[in-house]
C-alpha cells in the first residue's frame, strides 16, 4: 500500500513537470532556450513513473458515436519528396515497407501483404502536444506481428521509423519506440482511418499508431523500420525529429 502511494505521488509530480510541455506548440516550444533542459529532466521522471504503474495498461477505446467529424491533420500534410510523389501518383501500388537493421529476416512488405495479416480496429483519442485532441477509428496490423516475422536480434532495443517527408531543416521525420511500446497490442501500422484508405494529410499509405503516447510519436508516411541497439547515431541522436528539437522521447499520456 505504502509503495503504491509513493508511486502515485511520484507519478503526480512527474506529470506536473511534463505539464509544462503542453503549454507550448510543436514549433513554438523548440524556439525557447529553456525548453530542452526542462524537457530533458521530465523525460526520466515521467518514463520511470509511468512505466512503474502502467507497463501493460491499455489506452481507452471509444464508440463509433465518439468519432470526431474531422481528424485534424498536423505537421506534414502533403510530402513533396520525389519518391513519395511517385508512389502517390500511382495510388501507392508500388509501396513497400522495408524492415531491417538488427533482424534475422529483413522484410519488404507491400500494402497487399500487410492487409493480408490479421488486423485490428480501434477507436482511440489522439492528443497533440499543442493541446488539442481528436478521436478516430484506426485499422492496421499490430506492429508486434511484423516484428515477429522479422525476428529482432538479441541486441535490438529500439524500433526506428523512417518517413518520406522532409522537414524545414532538410532532415526526414523519424521516430522510435522501445520494445514495451512496440509490442503493446494497441501499437499498429495503420492503413485505414474511419473505414477509408488513410488520406494523404493523415499519413498515407501507412502510419504508426501508439495511443498511449502523444501525437508526435505517431510517424506518418512510413518509409522503413529499423531495429537498432541505440539511436545515438541517427539524425540528431535523440530518437525522433521533435526529440532532436528538445521534446521528451517518452511522451506517455
Q: What is the binding site for ligand MTE (CB under 6 A)? A: 26, 71-76, 128, 163, 165, 173, 201-203, 215-216, 218-221
Beta bridge pairs of residue 175 = 161
What is the rounded CA–CA span in Å between residue 86 and residue 79? 11
Instruction: Specify the stretch interacting with Mo ion by CB under 5 A; choose among 35-43, 125-133, 165-173, 201-209.
Output: 125-133
Which of Mo ion, ligand MTE, none has residue 218 at its interface (CB below 5 to 8 Å by kind)? Answer: ligand MTE
**Alpha helices (H) along the chain:** 2-22, 26-29, 35-54, 82-89, 111-115, 143-150, 179-182, 241-244
Compare residues 74 and 142 and give the one whose CB is closer to Mo ion. Answer: 74
C-beta of 36: minimal distance to ligand MTE in Å?
Answer: 17
Which of Mo ion, ligand MTE, none has residue 106 at its interface (CB below 5 to 8 Å by kind)? Answer: none
Among 14, 128, 190, 251, binds Mo ion (CB under 5 A): 128
Examine residue 205 and say whether the peptide bond preceding it is cis (omega within 30 degrees of 0). yes
What is the rounded CA–CA span in Å between residue 196 and residue 139? 9
> Which residue's Cβ lies closest to ligand MTE?
75
What is the rounded CA–CA span in Å between residue 17 and residue 242? 18
Which of ligand MTE, Mo ion, none has residue 191 at its interface (CB below 5 to 8 Å by kind)? Answer: none
**Total of chain residues touching Mo ion, rule CB under 5 A:** 3
Which residues lie below 8 Å from residue 179, measured CB to CB, with a gap of 6+?
156, 157, 158, 159
Among 95, 138, 161, 216, binds Mo ion (CB under 5 A): 216
Compare residues 72 and 120 and give the one whose CB is closer to ligand MTE. Answer: 72
What is the rounded CA–CA span in Å between residue 136 and residue 196? 11
215 forms part of the interface with Mo ion (CB under 5 A): yes
Binding site for Mo ion (CB under 5 A): 128, 215-216
Amino acid at each position: 500500500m505504502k509503495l503504491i502511494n509513493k508511486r502515485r505521488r511520484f507519478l503526480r509530480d512527474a506529470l506536473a513537470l511534463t505539464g509544462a510541455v503542453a503549454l507550448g506548440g510543436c514549433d513554438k516550444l523548440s524556439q525557447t532556450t529553456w525548453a530542452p533542459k526542462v524537457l530533458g529532466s521530465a523525460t526520466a521522471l515521467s518514463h520511470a513513473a509511468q512505466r512503474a504503474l502502467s507497463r501493460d495498461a491499455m489506452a481507452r477505446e471509444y464508440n463509433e458515436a465518439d468519432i470526431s467529424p474531422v481528424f485534424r491533420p498536423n505537421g506534414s500534410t502533403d510530402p513533396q519528396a520525389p519518391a513519395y510523389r511517385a508512389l502517390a501518383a500511382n495510388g501507392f501500388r508500388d509501396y513497400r515497407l522495408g524492415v531491417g537493421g538488427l533482424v534475422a529476416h529483413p522484410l519488404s512488405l507491400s500494402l497487399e501483404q500487410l492487409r493480408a495479416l490479421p488486423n485490428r480496429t480501434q477507436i482511440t483519442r489522439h492528443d497533440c502536444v499543442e493541446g488539442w485532441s481528436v478521436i478516430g477509428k484506426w485499422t492496421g496490423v499490430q506492429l508486434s506481428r511484423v516484428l515477429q516475422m522479422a525476428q529482432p536480434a538479441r541486441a535490438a532495443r529500439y524500433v526506428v521509423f523512417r518517413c518520406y517527408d522532409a522537414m524545414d531543416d532538410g532532415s526526414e521525420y523519424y521516430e522510435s519506440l522501445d520494445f514495451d511500446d512496440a509490442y503493446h497490442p494497441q501499437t499498429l501500422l495503420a492503413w485505414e482511418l474511419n473505414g477509408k484508405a488513410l488520406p494523404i494529410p493523415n499519413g498515407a499509405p501507412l502510419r504508426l499508431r501508439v495511443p498511449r503516447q502523444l501525437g508526435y510519436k505517431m510517424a506518418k508516411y512510413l518509409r522503413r523500420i529499423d531495429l537498432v541497439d541505440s539511436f545515438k547515431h541517427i539524425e540528431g541522436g535523440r530518437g525522433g525529429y521533435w526529440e532532436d528539437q528538445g521534446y521528451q522521447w517518452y511522451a506517455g499520456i
